[in-house]
Amino acid sequence: MRDFPLICPTSQLRMTVALFIPCYIDQFFPDVAIATLTLLERLGVQVEYPAGQTCCGQPMANTGCDADTAPVAKQWVKRFAGYDAVVCPSGSCASMIRNHYADYFRPDDTEFQHLRENTFELCEFVVDRLGVRSISGTFKRPVSIHSSCHGLRELRLGACSENMTPREDKMRMLLESLDGIEIKPITRVDECCGFGGTFAVAERETSVAMGIDRVTDHISSGSEVMIAGDMSCLMHMGGLIRRRNMPMSVKHIAEVLVEAMQSGSSGSDRSSPAIASR
């Protein structure tokens, strides 16, 4: 049991979701997975971690290896079938399931269709499914926001410059609700960081140049912390920051929200029970 007061109304407490952790978070950034679990439990959601979960298959799909992607996609659906929803702390991997898995399944496959309609990026789930539009907490740092390409252009988690249809920026909405936070504006809010999975290997020089350009934009804004919903982007830019000793740190949105709630919880009511992870 976790000693946090609950935020969501009791009507949400019986929702059981599966937590899908992308490969790179599992291998390199386990603290992000723990923060995601903590955030969801803090919001009153019962979370399960399906044993044996694997990669969603995006690296193979992006390189045109459909014969290798298909069995991975089918294994993923098998592991996550039966849950009310699947939550993933990555717009990129969530988009793979929602927007690209249809290439590997029949239209009448009910398990796939259910998961296609009920797999969510973390902030999307919090705002749209739980109806949480503000978080009680404190984060007293100047920050800037990096919006991933998949999150903006495939999941439409915000508005991008090439499509001016109004969209709520879900990550920004949650961050703006925190006490003490100062969100610094950057000059090109929807520009790619240059990672692009295997693109960073095949086109190393271009990838590095794009990443340095993005980091420089964030630092020039006066930000101290770059926040994003995709650790793939932050892994790329964070590596450039460390190797060049640039004055900035990176954090996943889940880490920021949990840190903020813990910082602001000293005077909160802790009488409500926490929700167990299983």
pLDDT digits (tens, 9 = 90+) for 194-211: 777 777 677 788 888 989
pTM of the model: 0.86
Whether 86 and 157 map to the same domain: the answer is: no
Q: Range with the lowest mean pLDDT among 21-35, 73-87, 160-174?
A: 160-174
- Would you state the pLDDT for residue 13? 53
Does residue 104 lie within any of the structural domains? yes
Does residue 149 lie within any of the structural domains? yes
- Would you state the pLDDT for residue 14? 60
- Would you state the pLDDT for residue 188? 84
With a pLDDT cut of 70, the percent of the chain lying above it is: 85
Whether 125 and 21 map to the same domain: the answer is: yes
- Would you state the pLDDT for residue 214? 93
Whether 245 and 166 map to the same domain: the answer is: yes
Whether 125 and 146 map to the same domain: the answer is: no
pLDDT of 190 > 90? The answer is no
* Cα(213)–Cα(170) distance, integer angstroms: 25
- Would you state the pLDDT for residue 277? 30
- Would you state the pLDDT for residue 161? 65
Whether 97 and 175 map to the same domain: the answer is: no
Two tokens, residue 260: 């903020």
Whether 259 and 146 map to the same domain: the answer is: yes
Does residue 37 lie within any of the structural domains? yes
- Would you state the pLDDT for residue 266? 45
At 68, give phi and psi (nearest 5°): -85, -30
- Would you state the pLDDT for residue 275? 27
Mean pLDDT of 251-273: 72
- Would you state the pLDDT for residue 164? 55
Does residue 1 lie within any of the structural domains? no
Whether 169 and 122 map to the same domain: the answer is: no
Q: Range with the lowest mean pLDDT among 44-48, 52-56, 217-221?
A: 52-56
How do strand 225-228 and strand 182-183 relate by DSSP bridges? unpaired
Whether 172 and 100 map to the same domain: the answer is: no
Q: List, edge to edge, every strand of the sheet that includes 119-121.
A: 46-48, 16-19, 85-88, 119-121
Whether 183 and 91 map to the same domain: the answer is: no
- Would you state the pLDDT for residue 141? 95
Does residue 249 lie within any of the structural domains? yes
Does residue 2 lie within any of the structural domains? no
Boundary (domain end) residue, out of 75, 107, 129: 129
Whether 160 and 110 map to the same domain: the answer is: no
- Would you state the pLDDT for residue 270? 30
pLDDT of 48 > 50? The answer is yes
Instruction: Tell me the DSSP string of 55-80.
Output: --SHHHHHTT-HHHHHHHHHHHHHHH
Mean pLDDT of 176-186: 97
For residue 269, is it left (φ>0), alpha (ψ between -120 and 50) or beta?
beta
Q: Which position has the token pair 């991975």?
A: 72
Whether 98 and 146 map to the same domain: the answer is: no
Instruction: Tell me the DSSP string of 99-167.
Output: IIGGGGS-TT-HHHHHHHHSEEEHHHIIIIIS-------B--SEEEEE--HHHHHTS-SS-BTTB----
At 232, give phi and psi (nearest 5°): -65, -45
pLDDT of 6 > 80? The answer is no
Give residue-wise pLDDT tens across range 106-137.
999 999 999 999 999 999 999 999 999 999 99
With vertex at residue 193, the alpha carbon angle to CA 198 and CA 175, rounded to the nearest 5 degrees, is 125
User: Do 32 and 99 contact (CB within 8 A), yes or no?
Assistant: no
Domain limits at 117? 10-129
Does residue 103 lie within any of the structural domains? yes
- Would you state the pLDDT for residue 273? 27
Boundary (domain end) residue, out of 129, 156, 188: 129
With a pLDDT cut of 90, the percent of the chain lying above it is: 66
With vertex at residue 66, the alpha carbon angle to CA 63 and CA 70, rounded to the nearest 5 degrees, is 130
Does residue 75 lie within any of the structural domains? yes
Whether 258 and 150 map to the same domain: the answer is: yes
CATH code assigned at 219: 3.40.50
